[in-house]
Amino acid sequence: MRKKLGLPSIIATGVGLIVATSCLLSIGQGSAAIGTPFIITMTIACAFNILTALSICELNALMPNLTGGMAQYTLASFGPFVAIVITVGGYLTCQTIMGSSEAAMFGNTLSSVFSGIPISGSVYSIVLIILLAVLNLFGVDMFARIQNIVAYGLIGSLMLLGILGTLRLGTGTVVEQAAVLSSSPKDVFSLLGLAFFLFIGVEFIVPISTQVDNPRKKVPLGMVISLVAILVMQIFVTLGFHNYTPWDELGASTVPHILYGSLLYGKAGTAWMTVISLLAVISTINTALFSISQICAGMAKINLLPSVFMNCNRRGTPYVGLLLVSSVMVLINAVGLSTSDEVTFLILTGCTFWIFSYITLHGDVLILRKRLPKAPRTFKFPFGPVIPIIGILGNAFMIWNIDPDPAVKQKIYLIFLIVLAILSVYAVIWIRLIIKRPLFKAYQIKEVMAMESDLYQVTHNPKIAKRLHINPEPAMESVPADFNTGTRPE
- The pLDDT value given to residue 268: 92
Over residues 415-419, the mean pLDDT reads: 89
pTM for this model (two decimals): 0.79
Q: Which residues contact 390 (CB under 8 A, 6 or more apart)?
A: 51
**pLDDT, tens digit, 9 for 90 and up, residues 288-344:** 777 778 778 877 877 888 888 888 777 777 888 888 888 988 988 887 655 556 667
The answer to whether 188 and 209 have CB atoms below 8 angstroms apart is no
The packing angle between helices 21-34 and 340-371, to 10°, is 100
CA 449/CA 165 separation, integer angstroms: 50
CA 292 to chain centre: 10
**Is 213 or 363 the better-scoring residue by pLDDT?**
363
pLDDT of residue 16: 64
Q: Are 483 and 450 in contact (CB under 8 A)?
A: yes
| Nearest residue to 166 (alpha-carbon basis) of 232, 227, 229, 262 | 232
Classify residue 1 as exposed, middle or buried by CB count within 10 Å of its CB (0-12, 13-18, 19+). exposed
CB atoms < 10 A from the CB of 147, how many? Answer: 18
Q: Which domains does the chain have, with CATH numbers?
A: 7-444 (1.20.1740.10), 453-490 (no CATH)
The neighbouring-strand residues paired with 212 are 5
List, for residues 151-177, the tens digit of each pLDDT value. Answer: 677 778 888 999 999 999 999 999 999
The answer to whether 364 and 74 are in contact (CB under 8 A) is yes
Give buried/exposed letters for 323-343 (b at 16+ CB in 10 A, else e): ebbbebbbebbeeebbebeeb
* CB-based contact 16:154 (threshold 8 Å): yes
Confidence at residue 480, expressed as pLDDT on a 0 to 100 scale: 41
